[in-house]
Structure 1
Amino acid sequence: MTTESNSPNLPPPEPKPELDLQPDDFDDGAGENHLSSEILVSQQALSAISSLQSPQHKADLQQTRSIFGQRSKPPVIVKPRALLITVVGMAITVIGIVLNSWIIGILGTIVTLLLSIAILLPWLLYVLDEWFTSQDKTLFIAFVGLIVALIGFLRFSGVGDRVIKWSAQKVNWEASGTLAEWFGALGQIAIAIIAVYVAWRQYVISKDLTIQQNLLTVQQNIITQQQTIDSYFQGVSDLVLDEEGLLEDWPQERAIAEGRTAAIFSSVDGSGKAKILRFLSRSKLLTPLKRDRRLGRAILDGVGGYAEDRLEGVRVIDLGVMLAGSDLANTDLRWTDLSEANLVRANLRGCDLVKANLSRTILYDADLSGADLNGTRLFYGSVEKASPRSRTEPPKYKTGEHTGAVVEGADFSDVQRMSEANRYYCCAWGGEKTRGTIPGGCEGIPNLLGR
């Protein structure tokens, strides 16, 4: 938007891009294109001065002055003779009060009263005309007339005398006094009820304000968390990439990246953890990459990516036990590489694990109830030869031995779209507790775990 001035003497300000007037919510405000508070105040001041100096404003001001100048002043016109007589009347009144003379006092009072009314009457009429419209004066006179008419009707029609006689004969004033006491007690009860109602309304209003404040706090926490995650993304990218954008991760850089990841996992909620995992996975920072044995650098696969080496590759960030016992319920973990991660007792209830890689992942006592396991990889090779990871034996990715996830004690209740191969593997290597939670049952599938 641009600020246009009405003054012909001041040059119009330069137009500002709309992007400058709408800074990013997660920016720190240090950019050169952002408007500072001092510049904004200066522009508003220049705009106000320009509008005040415009011809239109000057014409409106002159018109307003002419209107106020044409307003009639209160018509208080006092002749010197009348003022002198009023002063004399006040003096006579004071003398009558001092001498305790009835004749002198009443004479001075009447003269002072008549002259004072004569002097003030024009001003009072002016005030009435200025402050009260003709409709207001008509309504006031009508109300006064109604009250006078009611009094006259009661006085001259005899109704008032009859009411007085009836009340003197029929009304028991002692009982009326008792009734008045009852009404007083009821009034106190009503006051107490009103006080309780007011206190209840104050509680309701305070509760609503507390709820709104909590909502604002939650929103502020979400914004702060997103800013923290964005800073983490930028920091990790700057740490492991060189100036040309190639992966340039040395041992110390990988250690710092893992430290940053472990630290941020402890300060974000489940949705924040899921965002970080998706970023790291899609950036190939969780995948074991094939390395140059001399330089340790990642090797390109020749088709626009980095070559994977599941057996001897090195990950930029090794999750290890960072996610053990984490609450990741109802989060989006599609296409994430969580292979060899320790997810013992993790809460994965209702997670979207479509195409996720959970090979050699420790899912001991994990809760996967209601999760979507469409295309989820739990092992490599054939299901007949696949087995869970071993502490002593290396994995054999061609046959599938020791490449599977540890699913003992895991809860697979109500999981969605589990493949037959994954169902067979979980029944075979999940143990009795896990076998009882797998949809479709494990009838006919041997318990290879033995417990």
Structure 2
Amino acid sequence: MERRFYLRQIDSSNPWLVFTAVGVMVIGLLSNWLWLGLSGTLVTLLLSLKIILPSVKEWLSTFLTAQERKTLIGFIAFAIAIAGLFKFLGVYALVGYWLNQIKWDEFGSWADWVGALGQIMIAVLAVYVAWEQYVISRDLTIQQNRITQQQTIDTYFQGISELALNEEGLLEDWPQERSIAEGRTAAILSSVDAGGKAKILRFLSQSRLLTPLRRDGRLGRPIFDGTGGYQEDRLSGVRVIDLGVMLAGTDLHTMDLRWTDLSEANMVRANLQGCDLVRANLARTILVDANLKNADLKGTILFYGSFDAASPRVKNQRPDYRTGEFTGAVVEDVDFTNVKRMSEEQRYYCCSWCGEKARGTIPGGCDGIPNRLNR
């Protein structure tokens, strides 16, 4: 009978085989038998690598692309090459010689150095934690201030509405009520930031509280226009709130002031840089030394009547809204650098009345347009 012998394939990743190799290594270490311990150590190392390498290869294939694997291999090879280059150039020998020349006793013990470094790191960590706490506290303070400001503005809106409207919701303002409304407005405009000022101005403008309204000659009440609103009277109308000098020198840069009625306001040295002034009414507004850099002037009303006949407001001179005489904004020394969408009529008016200093800032130049300000 023919006998057949089969070789059984041994699984190198079998845990029992690994444990056996570890046991041989431990016995060799305990018995101080060099060859037994060394053999067990080498077998354990080879078996562990046999188990670990496939997993490492799979991880690299999963999380790194082919190009990234090549880059990693190249980086490792580069580091090894640099290390070998330093060896052949004698860099390590020079460093060792330099270290041997240092009198380490003069520097104290390594423990002192480590302790000092630890204290420095603790101080740096404390400064970092304190800075983070400051940033968080600052952000919370800013957020709380915004909430408080919005609550203040909402209270102002409610107070002005109750002051100017009767029980039926109709506008019924008397001289004393208008004075109180102006006082409240002046107080809140001086206590809020640029965003809060813009919100207030948009509210007052859209509510027509800044627009001069036609009044009943005896009762002083505003007159309806027959289409659901109040009649506007630029010549002799009365505003519920007259801004006066409330906006002089104010900072409103980059704010949204579209369709706001700022006519006849005193905005000397106001910062309107980057503002959206689309369809805003600036007729008879005093803009001396104002900053209008990068502002959007599309449809902005700077005057009434014809652009070549319009002229800036003059104290004690009655404006003529038909011809435009004395209806224009006072634009002397205004900075018009890079203003957007300025019409030809606006450019002609501004070139005529802004003065020699400001003419150089108007986009498109002022060639052929006379300086009617004469200074």
The TM-score range, normalised by the shorter chain, is: 0.7 to 0.9
Q: How does 1:6-405 map to 2 (within 5 A)?
A: 153=32, 185-405=109-329
Separation (CA, whole Å) in 2 of partners of 1:255 and 1:334: 26
Question: 2-side partners of 1:309 and 1:192: how far apart?
Answer: 80
Q: Which has the larger radius of gyration?
A: 1
Letter of the structure 1 residue corresponding to residue 356 of structure 2 = E
AA aligned opposite 1:419: S
SS where residue 127 of structure 2 aligns? helix
> Letter of the aligned partner of 1:187 in structure 2?
A
Report the CA distance between 1:181 and its aligned residue: 6.0
Give, as a single letter, the amino acid of the residue that structure 1 aligns with 2:269.
R
- C-alpha distance in structure 1 between counterparts of 2:361 and 2:149, whole Å: 36
Matches of 2:296 and 2:263, distance apart in 1:
17
Cα distance in 1 for partners of 2:333, 2:29 equals: 93
Which residue in the other structure is 1:86 paired with? Answer: none
Q: Deviations over 1:124-168 (max 9, x none)?
A: xxxxxxxxxxxxxxxxxx9xxx7x9867639xx9xxxxxxxxxxx
Residue type matched to 1:218 in 2?
A: I
Letter in 2 for 1:250: W
Q: 2:166 & 2:138 partners in 1: Cα distance?
A: 43
Q: Which amino acid aligns with 1:402?
A: F
Q: Which runs of 5+ in 2 are unaligned?
A: 1-21, 37-102
Correspondence 1:446 to 2:370: yes
User: Take 2:267 and 2:328, find their aligned partners in 1: how far apart are those partners?
Assistant: 14
Q: Percent identity?
A: 65
Give structure 1 regions of 4+ aligned residues with deviation exceeding 2 angstroms.
Answer: 148-154, 179-184
Q: Distance in 1 between matches of 2:107 and 2:32?
A: 30
User: Corresponding residue for 2:44?
Assistant: none
Counterpart amino acid of residue 153 in structure 1: N
**What is the TM-score when the length of structure 2 is the normalising length?**
0.73
State the distance in 2 between where 1:180 and 1:322 align: 73
Q: Which amino acid aligns with 2:273?
A: R
Equivalent residue in structure 1 for 2:330, among 406, 423, 427: 406
SS state at 1:247 partner: coil
Aligned-pair distance for 1:409? 0.6
Q: CA deviation at 1:392?
A: 2.3
- Paired amino acid for 1:199: A
Q: Deviations over 1:246-277 (max 9, x none)?
A: 00101111000000000001110011000000
CA deviation map 1:376-420 (0-9, x unaligned): 000000011100001121100000000000000100000000111
Q: How far, CA to CA, are the matches of 1:194 and 1:150 in structure 2?
A: 38
Deviation sequence 1:111-131 (CA, Å, 0-9, x none): xxxxxxxxxxxxxxxxxxxxx
Aligned to 2:74: none
CA shift digits 1:330-377 (9 cap, x unpaired): 100000000000000000000000000000000000000010000000
Alpha-carbon distance between aligned partners in 1 of 2:319 and 2:185, rounded to the nearest angstrom: 27
| TM-score of the two chains, using structure 1 as the length reference | 0.61
Q: Distance in 1 between matches of 2:106 and 2:114?
A: 12
- Paired with 2:315 and 2:228, the residues of 1 have a C-alpha distance of 35
Deviation at 1:228, TM superposition (A): 0.4
Deviation readout 1:68-90 (Å, 9 max, x if unpaired): xxxxxxxxxxxxxxxxxxxxxxx
Instruction: Please give the alpha-carbon distance, in whole angstroms, between the structure 2 residues aligned to 1:419 and 1:313.
Output: 29
Q: Aligned AA for 1:412?
A: F
Once residues 230 and 223 of structure 2 are traced to their aligned partners in structure 1, the CA distance between those partners, rounded to angstroms, is 6
Alpha-carbon distance in 2 for matches of 1:182, 1:434: 71
Determine the C-alpha separation between the residues in 2 that align with 1:190 and 1:150. Answer: 35
- Tell me the residue number matched to 1:424: 348
> How far apart are the structure 2 equivalents of 1:283 and 1:403?
23
Q: Cα RMSD (Å) of the superposition?
A: 2.4
SS in 1 for 2:156: helix
Structure 1 counterpart of 2:249, one-letter code: G
Which amino acid is the alignment partner of residue 297 of structure 1?
R
CA distance in 2, matches of 1:184, 1:434: 71
Distance 2:133 2:337 in 1: 41
Amino acid at match of 2:368: G
2:13 corresponding residue in structure 1: none
Q: For residues 359 and 379 of structure 1, what CA distance do their matches in structure 2 show?
A: 5
